[in-house]
Amino acid sequence: MVWFKRKKLLPEKDRADRSVKVPQGLWVKCDHCGEIIYKKEVERNLDVCPKCSYHFRISAEKRLQVILDEGSFIEHDADLEPGDPLGFKDLKKYRERVKAAQKKAYGKDAFISSEGNINGLRVMLGVFDFSFMGGSMGSVVGEKITRLIERAVDESTPAIVVSSSGGARMQEGIYSLMQMAKTSAALARLRVRGLPYVSLLTDPTTGGVTASFAMLGDIIIAEPRALIGFAGPRVIEQTIRQKLPDGFQRAEYLLEHGMIDMIVERKNIKETLHSLLSMLMENRL
């Protein structure tokens, strides 16, 4: 006796009508632990995985919201946008790439310069926008960082730069590489005035950004598991033909080897910045 019966399948059209339609974008997969998590739960947790505390990349706008007091944000130099000094062209013209990036990013280039308050303490705050050509540093980014630091000198306020970058922008050639020296020189003037500079490194911070102002902070903070380095790990392995240590170029590895000062979770970054800067400004006085 047959104890089961094959269920007669409905016509394909009827099956489609009866299927449950799940809206797109409700769930996200953690890149670290692989868990599937309700997206709104991740967003409520400041875009940090509630299972393993993996820090997802966030937009520049969200970064500003996390750090600054509500209503205190004032943007500077928003009208600056890149030129095309080399007339660069690869598969596309550089000007076309810039226009495409401006359509999907916050502003006209990969860096937002601002001032605002952190628990009432006034600061000059700059944040990279990784969605704009991988947060690459061209002449406009270098100019905005330099102006941010000079404004901190003029106003006697602390300066903070939140880095998230693939490095110097190849489409601007030597003009982009010059920004490494330019921003470093501006920081030297800030140091002469005894004003604090805090560098916050997020995933990823690489290339010419790492080789200049990102690693020149009086205090260097990183988010958990942020990739930080000059060349990427694959490039290094292919160059030296050796296997790199586990966790190489991650924030925890750099902390262990004395390259950064602390690792701070996103939920604690505002209070940490306020405490550190308040202490440094008091000691200056």
Q: Tens of pLDDT along 35-55?
A: 999 999 999 999 999 999 999
In whole angstroms, how far apart are CA 87 and each of 100, 138, 173, 235, 246? 17, 14, 11, 28, 42
Q: Is 273 helix (H, G, I), strand (E, B) or coil?
A: helix
Please tell me which of 5-19, 115-129, 234-248 the model is most confident about, judged by mean pLDDT. 115-129
Q: Is 209 helix (H, G, I), strand (E, B) or coil?
A: helix
Q: Contact, 232 vs 203, CB < 8 A?
A: no
189 has pLDDT over 80? yes
159 has pLDDT over 90? yes
pLDDT score, position 70: 97
Q: What domains lie within the chain, and their CATH numbers? A: 13-56 (no CATH), 57-284 (3.90.226.10)
Tell me which of 7-16, 25-34, 176-185 is least confident.
Answer: 7-16
Residue-averaged pLDDT of the chain: 93
Characterize the bridge pairing of strands 74-76 and 36-38: unpaired
Nearest Cα neighbor of 142 from 115, 169, 114, 182 is: 182
Q: Which two tokens stand for residue 168?
A: 């110097």
Q: Which two tokens stand for residue 213?
A: 């102002």
Q: Contact, 39 vs 48, CB < 8 A?
A: no
Burial of residue 235 (number of CB atoms within 10 Å: 0-12, 13-18, 19+): exposed
Q: pLDDT of 53-99, one tens digit each?
A: 999 999 999 999 999 999 999 999 999 999 999 999 999 999 999 99
Q: Contact, 208 vs 167, CB < 8 A?
A: yes
pLDDT score, position 251: 98
21 has pLDDT over 60? no
4 has pLDDT over 50? no
Report the distance separating Cα 118 and Cα 122, nearest Å.
6
Using only the alpha carbons of the chain, give its radius of gyration: 23
Report the distance separating Cα 77 and Cα 106, nearest Å.
13
